Amino acid sequence: MSKIQNDSLQRIGWIGAGVMGASMAGHLRAAGHELYVYNRTRAKADTLIAAGAHWCDSPAEVAARVETLFTIVGYPDDVSAVYLGEDGVFAGAARKRNGANAGVAALKTVIDMTTSSPDLAREIAARATELNIAALDAPVSGGDVGAREARLAIMVGGDASAFAGSKPLFEILGANISHMGPAGAGQATKLANQILVAGNMIGACEALLYARRAGLDPGAVIDVIGKGAAGSWTINNLGPRIVAEDYAPGFFIEHFIKDMGLALQECERMRLELPGLQLVRDLYEALAKHGHARSGTQALYLGLAAMNGL
């Protein structure tokens, strides 16, 4: 990734150095931005620190030292703690405005890229507004490969002018970036995405199980059907991992269960019934109980294979 113009470089905070977050933060650092990082487990940020990022001891410390702050953590409770906790982002921003870290530009924009609750995104935006900070909810799709290759889809909710100002940063991280509406709209779009992913996943796994029972070469099947009407990111990217018996996580099952749960909560609030989504969530929950919570989502194949004695 080539560096951008020096006058566009800024101090950027990054909280969350997991499977996707570490790669994403690395792209910003490689583009020349000064990076300040925090993660609950410091060792996961070691690669970023070795590349020149500055370690911070808390979300509050990150917030007090940067102009733009990104988060990508695990669960809505984690998001709430990072932003609204006693040593969270907004506490640090408030202390900065009261005189700490003089000479460092105040925090202007926070961007949560966790898949979380639309209601929580709106709560964070309201609190940010009280501090004269712009807040964007910007969950992503594309998994570990999309994060590494900066090809993520990024769906953004929040103020349109804040989105426009942050778009050059989004363009370092992804290839398909869209402003979807006001606060919470990014999260709602991501939940629609996860509903579709759930359907694609069970379809891909069942297709490969059928191919196996029919005596076909599953790799050859993927090569053919992946280029036709049945083609999808799931069959073309995760299908080969299933064939190779590679169930390492690009996205953890436990996190996908969380996402489907959020979508089902929204459906209950809207009085919307989605039986397909409920079925896939139930299958994944059973798989997690059998020790696969930290496996990749493609491990659904194992659960379906076991049901069929394969």
**Interacting residues of 234 by C-beta distance below 8 A, sequence separation 6+:** 197, 200, 201, 203, 204
Count the Cβ atoms, other than its own, within 10 Å of residue 310. 11
Report strand pairing: 68-71 vs 11-15: parallel
Q: What are phi and psi of 201, to 5 degrees?
A: -65, -50
- CATH for 6-182 is 3.40.50.720
User: What single letter denotes the amino acid at residue 270?
Assistant: M
Identify the pLDDT of residue 8: 80
Segments of the chain with pLDDT less than 70: 1-7, 99-105
With residue 168 as reference, give the H or E element that holds it: helix 160-173
Handedness of CA 286, 287, 292, 296 (dihedral sign): negative
- In this prediction the pTM is 0.90
Contact (Cβ atoms closer than 8 angstroms) between residue 285 and residue 297:
no
Contact (Cβ atoms closer than 8 angstroms) between residue 100 and residue 62:
no
Q: What are phi and psi of 200, to 5 degrees?
A: -65, -40
> Looking at the annotation, which residues are catalytic?
190
Burial of residue 46, with CB atoms counted within 10 A of its CB: 0-12 exposed, 13-18 middle, 19 or more buried: middle
Identify the pLDDT of residue 234: 96
Domain ranges for the chain, please list them: 6-182, 189-307
CATH architecture, domain defined by 189-307: Orthogonal Bundle (1.10)
What's the rounded Cα separation, in Å, for the pair 266 and 185?
A: 13
At 9 the three-state DSSP class reads: coil
What's the rounded Cα separation, in Å, for the pair 271 and 289?
A: 29
What's the rounded Cα separation, in Å, for the pair 302 and 61?
A: 43
DSSP state for residue 252 in the 8-state scheme = B
